[in-house]
Amino acid sequence: MTRPLTAHRPGLGILLKVAAIGLFTVMSALIKAATEEVPIGQAVFFRSFCAIPIIMLWLLVRGELRDGLIAKRPMGHVWRGVIGTSAMGLTFVGLSLLPLPEVTAIGFATPIFTLIFAAALLGETIRMVRISAVVIGLVGVTIMLWPRLGGGDELSTAAAIGAVCVLVGTMLRGLVQIHIRRLVQSEHTAAIVFYFSITASALGLLTLPFGWVLPSNAALLMLITAGLIGGVAQILITSSYRFAPASLLAPYDYVSMIFAVILGYFWFSELPTVIMLAGAVLVICGNVVVIWRESRLGLVRGKARPMIDMKGG
């Protein structure tokens, strides 16, 4: 039986959420470093496969392992896995080609795209406040992408490819959230998490004939550590939502920019540009409006989020 939420401890919830965000950022940095040596498909496999033991152990402790093996809509899990793994792979391509803070900032647009897809695919009504939030967010994304795609000193083919990949990956993560809203109507959260990890591992393994390499000890350690850290971060995300509501914890996603700037500077000698930061601020402002409006409307969407908000997928 799943353990109920027994305490409202927002301070602990915030601490766990920030710790999880920090670990996810470290995971992204490890993937970025490892993909200097290994192909993207290989990184996707290790990121997903090495997280499975952590997730299964957690589900076992929670008494949810049995639910995690029950799939009432198998094809729903397959499509969630395909879309989510595509998003993960595209994000990893972006990490290999762009600064860590820039990839992090573009990823902030996921809630904006989720809102757009909710209106287009689920028929949700979006009124002026949320329309304004979408416009603000898209303007911010455009500002961030302009140096990579539109012109300026930073224009290069590799950077342009990286920017497009991160943008498409962000869109797909928004689409994944819509798909998950449908899945949770019949599927247990544990099943969604478990089968995504399985599907992502399988899809990553399918890239084996397309150029996997024998990694150095350092690269192999980074890949395995990235997967383990991803699994632990997933547990911390889960725990945070058991102690505090989603509306309170959502803004702390943006702490990842602080972690990304610190890791980017000290690990990769990267510094965010003024244009990138300006665009990120607009995207964050748009997201804050969405969070505020949805909390006012009483839209409860955090039910499945704790265990399925897998970074990069």
Which pLDDT tens digit goes with each residue over 176-196? 988 888 888 888 888 888 899
Phi and psi at residue 205, to the nearest 5°: -65, -30
pLDDT tens per residue across span 38-62: 999 999 999 999 999 999 998 898 8
Residue 40 lies in a domain: yes
With 0-12 / 13-18 / 19 or more C-beta atoms within 10 angstroms meaning exposed / middle / buried, residue 126 is: middle
Q: Are 144 and 275 in contact (CB under 8 A)?
A: yes
Helix, strand or coil, per DSSP, at residue 135: helix
Residue 239: per-residue pLDDT: 82
Residue 151: per-residue pLDDT: 58
Tell me the C-alpha distance between 61 and 193, whole Å.
15
Residue 185: per-residue pLDDT: 83
User: Mind listing the pLDDT tens digit of every residue in the chain (313 residues)?
Assistant: 444 444 678 888 889 999 999 999 999 999 999 999 999 999 999 999 999 999 999 889 888 888 778 888 999 999 999 999 999 999 999 999 999 999 999 999 998 998 888 888 878 777 788 888 889 999 999 999 988 887 554 558 888 999 999 999 999 999 998 888 888 888 888 888 889 999 999 999 999 999 899 999 999 999 999 999 999 998 888 788 788 777 677 788 899 999 999 999 999 999 899 999 999 999 999 888 877 776 666 554 444 455 556 665 6
Range of the domain at 145: 10-308
Predicted TM-score (pTM) of the model is: 0.89
Closest CA to 109 of 151, 168, 196: 168
Closest CA to 72 of 187, 183, 168, 173: 187
Residue 140 lies in a domain: yes
Residue 133 lies in a domain: yes
Q: Are 244 and 107 in contact (CB under 8 A)?
A: no
DSSP 251: G
Residue 149: per-residue pLDDT: 82
Tell me the C-alpha distance between 276 and 284, whole Å.
12
Residue 30 lies in a domain: yes
Q: Token digits for 185?
A: 């109507």
Residue 307: per-residue pLDDT: 53
For 199-223, the DSSP string reads HHHHHHHTTGGGT-----HHHHHHH
From residue 59, give the alpha-carbon distance in Å to each of 15, 24, 64, 78, 201.
22, 20, 5, 20, 18
Residue type, 184: V
Residue 1 lies in a domain: no
Name the E strands within the chain. none
Residue 4 lies in a domain: no
Residue 103 lies in a domain: yes
Tell me the C-alpha distance between 52 and 47, whole Å.
9
Residue 245: per-residue pLDDT: 77
Residue 300: per-residue pLDDT: 46
Q: Are 194 and 60 in contact (CB under 8 A)?
A: no
Residue 99: per-residue pLDDT: 95
Please report, rounded to a whole number, the percentage of residues in the chain having pLDDT higher than 90: 55
Tell me the C-alpha distance between 95 and 28, whole Å.
8
Tell me the C-alpha distance between 12 and 235, whole Å.
14
Domain count, the chain: 1
- Containing H/E element for 35? none
Residue 234 lies in a domain: yes
Tell me the C-alpha distance between 287 and 198, whole Å.
31
Count how many Cα atoms sit within 13 Å of the Cα of residue 234 in the half-sphere of its side chain.
33
Q: Are 111 and 285 in contact (CB under 8 A)?
A: no
Helix, strand or coil, per DSSP, at residue 69: coil
Q: Are 20 and 236 in contact (CB under 8 A)?
A: yes
